[in-house]
Amino acid sequence: MGIKYFKKRKIFHLYSKNFSYYIGINKLGYLIHLYSGNYLDDIGIERTNERYMERYGFLDSDLNKEVQDEDYYFSIIASQFECASFGKGDKRNYFARFKREDGIDITNFIFKDYKLIKGPVFPTGLPHPRFNDNEACTLIVVLKDEFSDVILELYYVISEKYEVLARFSKIYNNSKEKIVLKRLSSFELDLNNNNYDIMAMHGTWSNDRQVERIPLNHSITKISDNHGSRGFNYNPSIALLNKEANLDNGEVIGLSLMYSGDFSYEINVDEIDQTRIICGINDENFEYNLEPNESFTTPIGLMTFTNKGMNKISQIFHKLCKERIIPNYDRFKNRPILLNSWEACTFDFDTDKIINFIDEAKKLNIEMVVIDDGWFGNRNDDTSSLGDWNVNENKVNLKKIVDYCHSINMKIGLWVEPEMISPNSNLFKEHPEFSLYPKTYKNPTLFRHQLVLDLVNKDARNYVFNELTNIFDNLKFDYVKWDFNRFLTEGYSETLNKNSKLETYHKFVLGTYDLLNRFITRYPNILLETCASGGGRFDFGMLYYSPQIWCSDETDITQRVNIQYATNLFYPLSANGAHVSNRKIGTIQDKAILAFFGTYGYELDITKLNEDDKNKIIEFNKLYKEHHQVINDGIYYALSDPFSSNYASFMAITENKKEAILFFFNYRKETTKSRFIKLKGLDANKYYFNSLTNDIYKGSFYMNVGINLSAPLDAFTTALVVLKEVDPIKTSIYKVMVQNKPQKRTKLL
Ligand code: GLA
């Protein structure tokens, strides 16, 4: 069990192999954060941060006389907490805030009790790691507000196996009056120094997830989103890196909120150089009424720690996501190579055109065709029909297509955008109240000519779910692309009374989760890919329902290399929807190599390709099939960061270290650069054949000298290198090599 309680000293120790998290209960009942970092078998008699608080203890000693004895210091101004108070002496950022009927909102939680539970405890209806009973345990700390009968529970679910601490909180209104919750954080993390940079990912449409390393200063740095259910602008996964930390060395704390709505990380460096992180639902669009006996539970925050650099954080999140977040990883282990109709046709297709695609795709060994937007209502452009989920029979015969596809042993997929409604739709005519904006407001904001469906409204949810079942009960699709193409504005549900309007944003996210949950429960065999104008909703909340997410609408490789590199920092390659398109930059081969490092597919008119490109596609598909398990299941290493150098490089290696695959991309035309890419994670003593030069070297050679890519390189050169373990004695190539004969170089591609 990864939790110990030292009763006498009132200290909890939560731990995995590599990290420790210590919490203490002080004499006044405050929950003190004692330590988080490398594994420590004991925190010692000294109770870390309280000792350092001597000076500040003195400053507010009138407030807390009883704790100012000679060996014990505490300061509400400057101690490190687990749930900082609001409205008392702590003027840093706070954990929770609620207003009582007397108008007062001072909030201060004092320890009451705790529970230790073998196995994980998580709320229903919110995405969380799917830990088994024997791979996690839970500490629940129960606290009571000093001024009211409001109870706070802090949940700490630790998995030694996955090296992750999952945290959330729950508030109960045990008082006799209503309270209005203004903020309830998922977790607080107080650190006793300010030696950190934040690594965060911001972005916009077609420029999804751009990495920025931000130094902390003495103010609040806020990484947040307020678009309601779409995190283009900032992603809810961030890392805190020690100033010296890099990809492979140094202390890094990885954080991610498993939530697809407005989130916020407030990172505050105080005047004595301590850092406080408060993470949870962004309270800009949030307020929640709790009547007596009602409760509120936050989304789950994930936290992990390493002293081995960012790559280790990526590996921890990738493994957790593949094995314990996405549904049915084993069922969807072999993702089909797909062809999506969007970039080739947009809205302009009919039955014959799709059948042509299917025939051509079959010849090229593509395994699935996806019919994107435009098959329903009167949808021939983006101005209408969202909500009218009936097949446009004049345009396309879906039944014929599905049957045909299956008859030739291919798979078939369909695009939907269930969370939306077009003003120009039958649904809007019949149920204008299903759209999300106050109906007293005559000028709701349209984006892409559409409004958001009010998913707080149960009837609207039921309506759209029934529409989905009408399609997917009758037509046996193998795959669904679930899109979300605008963000929330005027987000006040008509179903909520005037005092509860600010509950809309959060309840909308819960509505989305409810809908997704119903969908995957009813159709467990459908492979679901979520999407939001590309990768506008790429988070562990969505991955709890869909094993893959369309990474970006940007398929020009120069941009996309960076987007994929950034996505890989937190999310596994098996989740990263990646297609070969006919955008202008790069050859078809460059695009294929990049798309290999995701869920592979095509998004171009394959019927118009020349014979040469068709043959190449057959070759790519074969290669992908041969190697994609290494990419999907392997351990990931970033080798070179395109945000801070002229090239991007990353690799994946099987757990048994027998096979590895490496990606390289050069941005600039460089004729005279010494460029040795040092590989990572190989077995130093194994011999590996590499497909770039057809040579065999020891793992130690590849990791210390590197693969030599110093040859003059054109701009946008892409390389794919496969390494395979070989037995050097038995391998003739090795014998040739040791005899010093020059090798014939037969590149993989
Ligand atoms: C979004 C998606 C695209 C495509 C279109 C269809 O932009 O990201 O891939 O599905 O919608 O309208």
Percentage above 90 pLDDT, the chain: 84
DSSP label at residue 133: G
Cβ of 531 less than 6 Å from ligand 1: yes
Measured in angstroms, how far is the CA atom of residue 535 from the centroid of ligand 1? 10
- Cα separations (Å) of 592 from 69, 461, 600, 619, 627? 68, 39, 8, 10, 13
> Using an 8 Å Cβ cutoff, are 355 and 341 in contact?
no
CA distance 723 to 675: 18
Q: Token pair of 398, please? A: 């879906």
**Closest-CA residue to 80 (of 35, 33, 44):** 33
The pLDDT of residue 271 is above 50: yes
Cβ burial, residue 267 (10 Å; 0-12/13-18/19+):
buried
pLDDT-above-70 percentage for the chain = 93
The CA 450 to ligand 1 mean position distance, Å, reads 14
pTM of the model: 0.96
Which of 483, 590, 633, 695 is labelled catalytic?
483
Ligand 1 atom nearest the C-alpha of 415 is: 10
Supply φ then ψ for residue 683, to 5 degrees. Answer: -85, 120
Residue 88: CB atoms within 10 A of its CB come to 16
- The H or E element that residue 515 is part of is helix 504-522
Torsion of CA 631, 634, 636, 642, to 10 degrees: -10
pLDDT at 24 over 50: yes
Does 553 qualify as catalytic in the annotation? yes
Q: Report DSSP letters for 534-601, one per residue.
A: TBTT-SHHHHTT-SEEE--S--SHHHHHHHHHHHHTTS-GGGEEEEEE--SSS-HHHHHHHHHTSEEE
- Positive/negative CA dihedral, 311, 317, 323, 327: negative
The one-letter code for the residue type at 239 is: A
Predicted local confidence at residue 509, as pLDDT: 98
Confidence class for position 197, pLDDT limits 50, 70, 90: very high
Has residue 401 got a pLDDT over 80? yes
Average pLDDT over residues 579-585: 92
Q: Is the CB of 373 under 6 A from ligand 1?
A: yes
The tokens for 396 are 């396309």
533 lines ligand 1 (CB under 6 A): yes
642-664 burial by CB neighbour count: b if 16+ within 10 A, else e?
beeeebbbbbbbbeebbbbbbbb
- d(CA 749, CA 747) in angstroms, rounded, equals 5
- Residue 730 confidence (pLDDT): 67
Rounded to an integer, the average pLDDT of 287-299 is 98
**Residue 422 Cβ < 6 Å to ligand 1:** no
13: which strand partners?
Answer: 4, 22
Please tell me what DSSP assigns to residue 323. I
Distance of CA 519 from the midpoint of ligand 1 (Å): 20
Tell me the DSSP string of 393-425.
TTT--HHHHHHHHHHTT-EEEEEE-TTEE-SSS
Q: What is the best residue among 349, 384, 553 to mutate for testing ligand 1's pocket, by most ligand atoms within 8 Å of CB?
A: 553
The best mutation among 371, 450, 485, 549 to test binding of ligand 1, ranked by most ligand atoms within 8 Å of the C-beta, falls on 485
How far does the centroid of ligand 1 lie from the alpha carbon of residue 534, in Å? 7
d(CA 642, CA 639): 10
Q: Is the C-beta atom of 485 inside 6 A of ligand 1?
A: yes
Say which range, 63-77, 207-221, 341-355, has the weakest mean pLDDT.
Answer: 63-77
Q: What is the mean pLDDT of residues 17-32?
A: 91
Point out the least confidently predicted range of 65-74, 176-185, 207-216, 722-731. Answer: 65-74
Q: What pLDDT sits at residue 575? A: 97
- Type and span of the H or E element at 23: strand 19-25
Q: How confident is the model at residue 63 (pLDDT cuts 50, 70, 90)?
A: low
Q: With bands split at pLDDT 50, 70 and 90, how would you rate the model's confidence at 232? A: confident
For 444-467, the pLDDT digits (tens) are 999 999 999 999 999 999 999 999
pLDDT in tens, 616-635: 999 999 999 999 999 999 99
Other C-beta atoms lying within 10 Å of the C-beta of residue 280: 27
Residue 386: CB within 6 Å of ligand 1? no
Query: Using CB atoms within 10 A of its CB, is residue 714 exposed (0-12), middle (13-18) or buried (19+)?
Result: exposed
602 Cα–ligand 1 center, Å? 14
- CA distance to 18, 188, 206, 583, 716, per residue, from 559 (Å): 36, 35, 8, 11, 11
Residue 565: partners with Cβ closer than 8 Å, 6 or more residues away: 211, 638, 641, 642, 643, 648, 650
Q: Is 605 a catalytic residue?
A: no
Instruction: Kindly state the tokens that stand for 242.
Output: 């020690």
Q: How far apart are the first and last CA of the chain?
A: 49
**Cα 339 from Cα 367, distance rounded (Å):** 8
Nearest to 186 by CA among 127, 115, 264, 80: 264
Q: How many CB atoms lie within 10 A of CB 180?
A: 17
In sequence order, which residues have a C-beta less than 8 Å from that of residue 134 and are 6 or more positions away?
A: 119
Whether 553 is in the pocket of ligand 1, judged by its Cβ within 6 Å, is yes
In short, whether 342's Cβ falls inside 6 Å of ligand 1 is yes
Structure tokens at 95: 């954990």
Q: Ligand 1 pocket: which of 372, 379, 381, 419 to mutate (most atoms <8 Å of CB)? A: 372
Using a 6 Å cutoff on CB, does residue 601 contact ligand 1? no
For residue 14, pLDDT over 60 is answered with yes
CA 172 distance to own-chain centroid: 29
Q: What is the rounded average pLDDT of the residues 150-179?
A: 98
Which of 531, 554, 579 should be mutated for ligand 1, with most atoms under 8 A from CB? Answer: 531
Query: In the block, which residue shows the tokens 């398929």?
Result: 555
For residue 139, how many other CB atoms are within 10 A of its CB? Answer: 25
Nearest to 650 by CA among 196, 248, 197: 248
pLDDT on residue 738: 41
Query: What is the reported pLDDT for 44?
Result: 67
How far, in Å, from the CA of 379 to the mean position of ligand 1? Answer: 13
Ligand 1 atom 11: residue of nearest CA: 533
What's the average model confidence in pLDDT over 258-279? 96
Give the burial string for 420-445 (b: 16+ CB within 10 Å, else e): bbbbbbebbeebeebbbbeeeeeeee
Minimal-distance CA residue to ligand 1 atom 4: 342
Which two tokens mark 69?
Answer: 């004895």
Residue type, 463: Y
Residue 10 gets the label, from left (phi > 0), alpha (psi -120 to 50) or beta, of: left
Amino acid 740: pLDDT: 41
